[in-house]
Structure 1
């Protein structure tokens, strides 16, 4: 099954930490599809274990949460801002070493 047919968009690129909350939105059928895909591809122990545990919960009467599995949450990186945040206003005062040398530099006389 190609990744584009999975119940979670961009599944292969999701951080492991966000999968736990996202799989809670899936029903047993979608979760089984995702679990089969995981086992056939990356087969990450931690991910398989969480999915199997959630699948057991669903079979025992748990309901999918009402969240959106495609929602972008706190796990998504913030877009990069262009440019430097340093400016004349944020730079420190000029530092001039004393006339007899810098006492923290052992190569200069004291």
Structure 2
């Protein structure tokens, strides 16, 4: 049974750029992405669109079948593994905040402006 276009999570998916589509797919569930993928295949959507939907659907299936480890993100994202993508013990706390070089205006012992 074919899915009606207005029943899709992103009914305008074929009007989005590749980057917009990837970004808007991230919060969707595996079932929503799979439904869109089937619809795109049946509707003869552009190959790039079908590939993006297939990749995201596969990534979500893999995430559901493989429990996350300490060194892997819990949810797959496009570009996972890029700098800033994971938290390690070295990056889990922020560096101390230093007051501005002209002094801290809340500290009466430091000169102001």
Q: Please, what TM-score do these two structures have when normalized by structure 1?
A: 0.49
Quick one: higher RCO (CA 8 Å, sep 6+), 1 or 2? 1
Q: TM-score, normalised by structure 2?
A: 0.48
The structure that has the greater radius of gyration is 1
